[in-house]
Chain A
Amino acid sequence: MEPRDLGSPAPWRRLLASRSFAIGGVLLVAIALAAVFAPVLAPYDPLRGNFRLRLSPPGPLHWLGTDHFGRDILSRLLFGARLSLAIGAATTVASGLLGALIGAPAGYFRRLDEPLMRLMDALMAFPAILLAMAIAATLGASVGNVIIALAIATTPHTARVVRASVLVVRELEFVEAARSIGATETRILLRHVLLNCLGPLIVRLTYVFAIAVLAEAALSYIGVGPPPPAPSFGNIIAGGRDFLVTAPWITIAPGSAIIAIVLALNLLGDGLRDVLDPRLRI
């Protein structure tokens, strides 16, 4: 018994008709393909520099120029996008699982609501980016720890979104119907309630992805992100910090790449929200 499944043609058709969704989707798929095929597409080794060509401006040999070690910026960006999208995707999955794990029982079982949500309120009181930095630095700089840090920082809001939908859905008639035929509470929550809360959760997770990409850049700019020499958007920008006058392209290119990814995700999120979560209208 699936009261409203996301697979029915109507929402999909509406989604494809959404201009935000189409533009965001195409942009994101293009960037994701470039990131996945980075080893094939990158014209140079992202880690190997040519000292004679250091700080060369964009030109036919190096489309986006080189950095202070003579490394090709375009190649570094492609590999940076790979890292950024991988961290973003992993954070999104973790935030979704943790958010559902905490938000669903909080919304469904009245007794768990207060303690769980107070804990989420406390986590949300810390500036998210600062919390992520503190956790990532404490655990030690690694890709896995950055994902853990970003997941902890984004989960409270996700849990709140899930809880809010569960509060509405648990009062609907089909829940009572399921209960009347003897379904257990856990089964009702998992099979019937949670499934009908997927819309707002998917919308929230699209924005979590965008937030994670921005936050990963900030973390690696500060120096608590994935360890160098692996290129990330943030550490490429940090590397260009001392060459803002002589080689601004080092700084400009990765920032533009971040904007493209985050804009694509935000457009995708807006398109999804219009279809999946009509209550919100921003």
Chain B
Amino acid sequence: MLLAFVLRRLGGAGVVFLLVSLLAFLLIWLVPGDAVAVLLDAAASPEETARLRAALGLDRAPLEQMLAWYGGLARGELGHSLLLNRSVAEALLERLPVTLSLAALALATAVVLGTSAGIGAALAHGSWFDQALMGAALFGLSVPDFWLGLMFIIVFALGLGWFPTGGFVPFSESPVGWARSLALPGLALGLTQMGFIARMARSAMLDVLDQDFVRTAEAKGLSRRRIILVHALPNALVPIVTVIGIVSGALLGGSVVIEQVFSIPGVGRLIVGAILARDFPVIQGGLIFLAGVYLLVNLIVDLLYAVIDPRVRLA
């Protein structure tokens, strides 16, 4: 049963990934008029124009372009950057650890703080504490992450001097420097996602506290502490696993902008640079790459969920 579920999910993700790469391929067709003319200035010689057209593969028939695109993808190639003069896949992979550590730090912040706040609010349901926490969660949802990053720079970097204003130190060079360089962007990103998780966690916990088995435990005369820790909490945490999948998309997107704010040389900064310079192979490769990461995370989350909650496999 589990195997069938795994295969079904794998197939679904595969189909979606093929569509994802098709959509990324189609991006260049959105360029109004001639893509090559947009990229080059009017003074470009016909040879230059022809060379760029060939580099983008636009000199071939659309169907041929698409086959070449999927062929490259099957070999793990995402094309060649127009500006960096190197392979897109290499450039992305090289920067992946930076973005992943930033996203992981943000995810940890959001999950730990969000879950605690949500559970705490649910346990104090209806009290001023609940209202204050939920008010804070709603406020957090309304703050632009990149702007919060700038506020952190003003207070904690420029004002107090506790953290650098930007830049990135590799872990291998100095673990402390690495943590310091990621602390502010990670926190800015995590805190803005925390509100979402807090609201989900509160709702999940309230649902569980409403269940018959909790009432049974109360009727048995178990202590409130035991009911919450042993009976309610584990069941409330199950739906929160799915939230990780949802939030990972927002975190990958958020890191694109926050990397710009903190001058962190990650995947996001690479892609934003490419977007501003119209380096299409990098934009397309970056889109596929991040969508792939997102699909992979969600696949893992789905499988994890099916293992934890067997009812899911039947759905």
Contact = CB atoms under 8 A, between A and B. Distances in A.
Interface of A: 118-119, 121-131, 133-135, 137-140, 210, 214, 217-218, 221-224, 237, 241, 244-245, 248, 251-252, 254-255, 258-259, 262-263, 266-267, 270, 281-282
Contacts of B19: 118-119, 121-122
A282 B199 contact: yes
A125 B150 CA distance: 28
A263 B275 contact: no
A126 B20 contact: yes
Nearest to A119: B19
B113 interface: no
Contacts of A131: 287
A137 B290 contact: no
B276 A223 contact: yes
Q: Helix, strand, loop or mixed for chain B's interface? A: helix
A210 B287 CA distance: 24
Contact of A122 (B20, B142, B252, B268): B20
A214 B196 CA distance: 15
Interface stretch (B63-71, B74-82, B88-96, B253-261): B253-261
Nearest to B195: A266
Contacts of A251: 147, 150-151, 154
Interface residues of B, number: 53
Contact of B290 (A127, A214, A245): A127
A126 B287 contact: yes
Contacts of A123: 23
Given A118-B19, A130-B256, A266 B138 contact: yes
Contacts of B249: 124-125, 127-128
A122 to B, nearest CB: 4
B206 A281 contact: yes
A266 B141 contact: yes
A221 B146 contact: yes
Closest 4 CB pairs of A and B: A127-B253, A122-B19, A255-B147, A262-B142
A223 B207 CA distance: 44
B256 A255 contact: no
A254 B254 CA distance: 19
A222 B290 contact: no
Nearest to B291: A125
B158 A245 contact: yes
Nearest to B277: A137
Contacts of A263: 138-139, 142
